[in-house]
Amino acid sequence: MHADSWALKAKKLGLRSRAVFKLEEILRKTKSLKNNSLVLDVGSAPGGWSQLIKILMPTSTVYAVDLLHMDPIEDVYFYREDVSNIDAIKEISLLKAKFDLVISDLAPNLTGISAVDEENIFELNLITLKTAVNYLKKSNGSFILKTFQNSLQKKIRLEMEKNFNLVQTYKPAASKSKSGEIYLYGERPL
């Protein structure tokens, strides 16, 4: 497989994935990462986004959750669990309504059947949105969610608008031009 310039740059810098550049651009534009932030990374494997948070703001505390294995990152608390079971993780559950930032680069395994894939993406986005709303600070929390351009995109954006004072859409430069992925940003939960 041919590695693109973003993947090569990530490898050269010792980063876990090219996706870090997508998050970095959104964080720069939204100014949503601050010193001493409490961050929840949903769907964290392979760990690129958690790694970036610790590089940009070493004083931040990061909790990461994924069904897949993630190699350890210093000062990142990783839990191998389904996001739908996040309340069962005592250490995270105790922090409800305390997170400054929830980030999610989560995507389901794709089947190649559009209707099935779109519904799976939407359901996973809803679970992640519910998690963000439950775990973010109400006054000034921020949420970054990966989704895809498809027939349910407007529906997930509407759900975001019901739950946040501000919602924006981003297509970072590091996203492959042929990819349908986009990122929704929500600020200040309602």
Q: What is the DSSP code string of the chain?
A: ----HHHHHHHHTT-S-TTHHHHHHHHHHHT---TT-EEEEET-TT-HHHHHHHHH-TT-EEEEEESS-----TTEEEEES-GGGGGG-HHHHTTTT-BSEEEE---PPP-S-HHHHHHHHHHHHHHHHHHHHHHB-TTT-EEEEEEESSTTHHHHHHHHHHHEEEEEEE--TTS-TT--EEEEEEEEE-
| Contacts of 168 by beta carbon, 8 Å cutoff, 6+ apart | 30, 184, 185
Per the prediction, the chain carries an average pLDDT of: 92
- What is the pTM for the complete model shown? 0.93
Model confidence at 2: pLDDT above 60: no
Model confidence at 119: pLDDT above 60: yes
* pLDDT classification of 189: cutoffs 50, 70, 90: very high
- Determine the average pLDDT of the residues in 72-80: 97
- Determine the average pLDDT of the residues in 123-140: 96
Model confidence at 176: pLDDT above 90: no
What percent of the chain has a predicted confidence (pLDDT) above 90? 82
Reported as a single tens digit per residue, the pLDDT across 138-169 is 989 999 999 999 999 999 999 999 999 999 99
**Single-letter residue type at 57:** M
pLDDT confidence of residue 16: 66
Q: What is the DSSP code string of 162-185?
A: HHEEEEEEE--TTS-TT--EEEEE
* Domains of the chain (ranges, CATH numbers): 5-139+159-189 (3.40.50.150)
- Determine the average pLDDT of the residues in 30-39: 95
Model confidence at 15: pLDDT above 80: no
Model confidence at 53: pLDDT above 70: yes
pLDDT confidence of residue 19: 82
* pLDDT classification of 1: cutoffs 50, 70, 90: very low
Q: Is the dihedral of CA 79, 81, 86, 88 positive or negative?
A: negative
Q: Which residue is catalytic, options 29, 146, 176, 178?
A: 146
pLDDT confidence of residue 18: 75
Model confidence at 126: pLDDT above 70: yes
Q: Is 146 a catalytic residue?
A: yes
